[in-house]
């Protein structure tokens, strides 16, 4: 449609131009003065029109070249008008020699050429329009004075025709126009393409016109005719460049810089919006991968979120497997099943990304040596973006995004997003790796610390444990039960300050130390005193432990008990549960000379003895504590139950109460005396 319209417009313009030239030629045959007057009037009107449009738009026009051209057009147009009025046969200025119009012609062309040469130098400078108008006014006044009054302007037309000065001046002016054309083309980026083309053609044709005017000897000869025709064509192109374009496409001439500025601002706004969108997406991905420590889930969530963020048609994650890459996850990618192994030939782009340790963006897979063309063609991939995933300086995976259409391509913002994503995934992978390592340590500690007998001679037992640290199955709390001698069984429950692996390691030390001093015949207070003296030296600075150490005589039901700063135990009988004041002594591991008091509890067969760490009453739901009163109520309802059922009930209730809000480890131990056999 546009091609047809352009052809139609071009044909119409050619017909009109041909008709105008024919009419001018007919006018020239009838009267040279008429022909000359029509040609000059056309030039004068166009010059005036250019000035009026650009002058009245000067507050908005940022292109200083056009402003200089506008003011210069007024000056040149005025000299052309005087040239026309002084021409032989016009009769406006009687007595003026025939040399004067030629002098005015040369002066006008010279000023026009100078303006076009000087204008590019001011493209990036802000002009003072008042000063510019004053300079051109002064130039016109001085030119007229030099020709009409002072008569010092060199002669251009003598008795033998054109003078040497006139010919040389035309050549110099032609050279200036050529220089102006070169300077204009050198600043092409400052002009709208159509405007640049028309201005360039106008200047070029003006050069040819000037050369014709250096060759004629007869005003009615062919060079003079061609010179005027070319002059009319040059002015016509100037008219189309400035006046017609300004009326039809004002943004192309008058407000191009403003339009460019607005477009730049829109592009910048779009880029900032896109970067903000990608940053938000990255935050969402960070939250998604940060909510799990499972590597497979991390990669799955990252692939989905990232592929949608960069608007990829398909995507895949490949992980290193020996000397090849194994496809582990795919996004909308058919033809490349999970588990596919890619060697260096087929997965060339993967090896390239791994070698560079940086994202690699390929705009055309069919013409890029970094991609296996057959592989890309089989999967319908036109462009791709590969992102190496590293941890500890080693690339463990490659995230690849694909586009199918040649009309789309990845942008620099996508590559920057991919680079930031790689950093986030590297941190997530490292966290997952550390989690796995710590979990293995925790499993080992748990095996050593939380091994607990289901029953001991004459005693039924129940126990439960929950760590506050997701990274560890064990924490600072611990419990133990073992036979001391004859009918005496030791029950220990303790709590080391802190959570996680560090607290678990310290609790192992406390547990082992208590075991070491649990010799036959020992009293609870003696064991705690001896263990405290050793733990002052063994535990790290600022680390301490609380504990309850009880010895149950299964033959008599007597419980000898000593507390080192630990919560009071409960005893549940058939009539109810009560909390016993444990005469809390100082914690272990702080004061080497600490002394410990103990007390006794009498238990009957079927009674339950319950100990727990402070994580149970201190469990929270918002600002509310689980509390000893709630513990008391639960124990009352379970007083006739077996020890393990009592423990399970307490753990179930506290878990339901606190939900996922784990602020401390929880350890619970219950025991009841069995009837003698």
Q: How far apart are CA 50 and CA 68, in angstroms?
A: 11
What is the per-residue pLDDT for 20? 67
Residue 270 burial (C-beta neighbours within 10 Å; 0-12, 13-18, 19+): exposed
What is the per-residue pLDDT for 500? 65
Confidence of residue 285 (pLDDT cuts 50, 70, 90): low
Which residue intervals of 57-128 are DSSP H helices? 64-85, 99-118
Looking at beta carbons, which pairs linking 123-126 to residues 24 or more positions away fall under 8 Å?
A: 123/63, 123/64, 123/65, 123/187, 123/190, 124/64, 125/64, 126/64
**Average pLDDT score over the chain:** 82
Confidence of residue 322 (pLDDT cuts 50, 70, 90): confident
Q: What are the backbone angles phi and psi of residue 576, rounded to the nearest 5°?
A: 150, 180
Residue 615 burial (C-beta neighbours within 10 Å; 0-12, 13-18, 19+): buried
DSSP 588: B
Question: Each residue of 485-510: pLDDT tens digit?
Answer: 888 999 999 998 876 667 777 888 89
Is the pLDDT assigned to residue 219 strictly greater than 80? no
H or E, element range at 140: helix 129-144
64 token code pair: 């200083």
* Overall average pLDDT of the 178-202 stretch: 87
* Overall average pLDDT of the 116-132 stretch: 85
Which residue intervals of 522-675 are DSSP H helices? 524-538, 627-637, 643-658
Q: Which of 59-68, 283-292, 523-532, 615-624 has the lowest mean pLDDT?
A: 283-292
288 to each of 282, 605, 607, how far by Cα in Å?
10, 54, 50
What is the per-residue pLDDT for 617? 92
Is the pLDDT assigned to residue 256 strictly greater than 80? no
* Overall average pLDDT of the 315-340 stretch: 88
Cβ(426)–Cβ(417) below 8 Å: no
C-alpha 593, offset from chain centre: 62
Q: Which of 94-103, 563-572, 666-675 has the lowest mean pLDDT?
A: 94-103
% of residues, the chain, pLDDT over 90: 23
Confidence of residue 664 (pLDDT cuts 50, 70, 90): confident
**Which is nearest to 644 in space by CA: 605, 619, 616, 608?**
608
Is the pLDDT assigned to residue 6 strictly greater than 60? no
The more confident residue out of 113 and 53 is 113
First to last CA, the chain: 107
Confidence of residue 472 (pLDDT cuts 50, 70, 90): very low
% of residues, the chain, pLDDT over 70: 82
The half-sphere exposure of 409 on its side-chain side, counting CA atoms within 13 A, is 9
Is the pLDDT assigned to residue 36 strictly greater than 80? no
What is the per-residue pLDDT for 1? 47
What is the per-residue pLDDT for 535? 92
Question: Each residue of 574-614: pLDDT tens digit?
Answer: 888 998 887 889 999 999 989 999 999 999 998 999 999 99
Categorise residue 491: left if φ over 0, alpha if ψ from -120 to 50, beta otherwise: beta
Q: Which of 61-75, 420-434, 450-464, 627-641 has the lowest mean pLDDT?
A: 420-434
What is the per-residue pLDDT for 452? 79
What is the per-residue pLDDT for 546? 93
Cβ(626)–Cβ(664) below 8 Å: no
DSSP 675: P
Question: Each residue of 357-371: pLDDT tens digit?
Answer: 888 889 998 999 899
Q: Which of 271-280, 449-458, 495-504, 543-552 has the lowest mean pLDDT?
A: 271-280
* Overall average pLDDT of the 561-576 stretch: 91
Q: How far apart are CA 157 and CA 86, in angstroms?
A: 14
**Which is nearest to 397 in space by CA: 268, 486, 511, 306?**
306
Is the pLDDT assigned to residue 376 strictly greater than 60? yes
- Determine how β-strand 383-391 pairs with β-strand 360-362: antiparallel
* Overall average pLDDT of the 91-95 stretch: 77
pTM of the model: 0.45
Cβ(357)–Cβ(389) below 8 Å: no
Which residue intervals of 215-328 are DSSP H helices? 222-239, 245-248, 250-253, 256-290, 295-309
The more confident residue out of 55 and 283 is 55
């Amino acid at each position: 449609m546009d091609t047809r319209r352009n052809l139609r417009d071009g044909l119409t313009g050619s017909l009109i131009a041909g008709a105008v030239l024919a009419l001018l030629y007919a006018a020239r045959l009838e009267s040279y003065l008429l022909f000359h007057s029509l040609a000059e009037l056309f030039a004068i009107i166009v010059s005036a029109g250019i000035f009026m449009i650009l002058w009245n738009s000067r507050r908005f026009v940022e292109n200083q070249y056009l402003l200089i051209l506008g003011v210069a057009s007024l000056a040149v147009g005025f000299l052309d008008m005087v040239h026309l009025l002084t021409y032989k046969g016009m009769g406006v200025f009687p007595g003026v020699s025939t040399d004067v119009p030629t002098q005015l012609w040369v002066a006008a062309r010279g000023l026009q050429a100078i303006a076009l040469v000087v204008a590019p130098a001011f493209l990036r400078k802000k002009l003072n329009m008042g000063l510019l108008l004053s300079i051109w006014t002064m130039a016109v006044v001085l030119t007229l004075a030099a020709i009409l009054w002072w008569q010092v302007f060199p002669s251009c037309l003598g008795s033998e025709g054109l003078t040497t000065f006139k010919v040389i001046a035309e050549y110099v002016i032609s050279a200036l126009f050529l220089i102006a054309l070169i300077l204009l083309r050198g600043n092409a980026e400052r002009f709208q393409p159509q405007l640049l083309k028309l201005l360039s053609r106008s200047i070029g044709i003006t050069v040819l016109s000037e050369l014709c005017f250096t060759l004629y000897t007869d005003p009615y000869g062919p060079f003079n005719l061609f010179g005027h025709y070319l002059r009319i064509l040059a002015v016509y192109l100037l008219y189309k460049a400035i006046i017609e374009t300004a009326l039809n496409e004002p943004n192309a001439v008058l407000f191009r810089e403003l339009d460019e500025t607005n477009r730049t601002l829109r592009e910048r706004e779009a880029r900032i919006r896109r970067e903000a969108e990608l940053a938000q997406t990255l935050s969402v991905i960070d939250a998604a991968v940060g909510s799990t420590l499972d590597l497979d889930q991390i990669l799955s969530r990252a692939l989905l979120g990232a592929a949608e963020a960069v608007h990829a048609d398909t995507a895949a994650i490949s992980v290193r497997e020996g000397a090849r890459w194994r496809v582990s996850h795919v996004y909308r990618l058919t033809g490349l099943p999970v588990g596919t192994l890619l060697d260096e030939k087929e997965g060339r782009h993967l090896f390239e990304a791994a070698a560079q340790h940086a994202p690699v963006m390929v705009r055309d897979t069919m013409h890029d040596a970094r991609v296996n063309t057959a592989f890309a063609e089989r999967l319908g991939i036109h462009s791709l973006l590969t992102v190496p995933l590293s941890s500890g300086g080693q690339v463990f995976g490659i995230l690849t995004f694909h586009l199918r259409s040649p009309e789309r391509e990845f942008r620099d913002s996508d590559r920057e997003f991919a680079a930031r994503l790689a950093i986030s995934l590297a941190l997530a992978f490292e966290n997952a790796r550390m989690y796995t390592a710590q979990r293995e340590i925790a499993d080992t500690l748990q095996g050593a610390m939380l091994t607990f007998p289901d029953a001991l001679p004459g005693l039924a037992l129940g126990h439960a444990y929950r760590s506050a640290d997701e990274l560890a199955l064990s924490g600072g709390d611990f419990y133990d039960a073992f036979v001391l001698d004859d009918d005496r069984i030791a029950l220990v429950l303790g709590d080391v300050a802190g959570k996680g692996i560090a607290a678990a390691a310290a609790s192992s030390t406390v547990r082992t130390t208590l075991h070491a001093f649990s010799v036959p015949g020992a009293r609870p207070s003696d064991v705690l005193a001896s263990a405290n003296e050793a733990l002052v030296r063994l535990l790290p600075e600022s680390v301490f432990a609380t504990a309850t150490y009880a010895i149950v005589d299964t033959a008599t039901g007597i419980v000898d008990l000593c507390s080192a700063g630990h919560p009071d135990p409960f005893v549940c009988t058939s009539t109810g549960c009560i909390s016993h004041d444990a005469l809390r002594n100082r914690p272990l591991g702080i004061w080497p000379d600490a002394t410990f008091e103990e007390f006794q509890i009498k238990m009957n067969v079927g009674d339950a003895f319950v100990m727990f760490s402070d994580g149970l009453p201190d469990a929270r739901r918002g600002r509310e504590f689980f509390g000893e009163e709630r513990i008391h109520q639960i124990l009352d309802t379970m007083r006739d139950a077996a020890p393990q059922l009592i423990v399970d009930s307490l753990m179930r209730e506290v878990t339901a109460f606190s939900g996922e809000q784990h602020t401390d480890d929880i350890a619970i131990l219950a025991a009841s005396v069995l009837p003698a056999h």
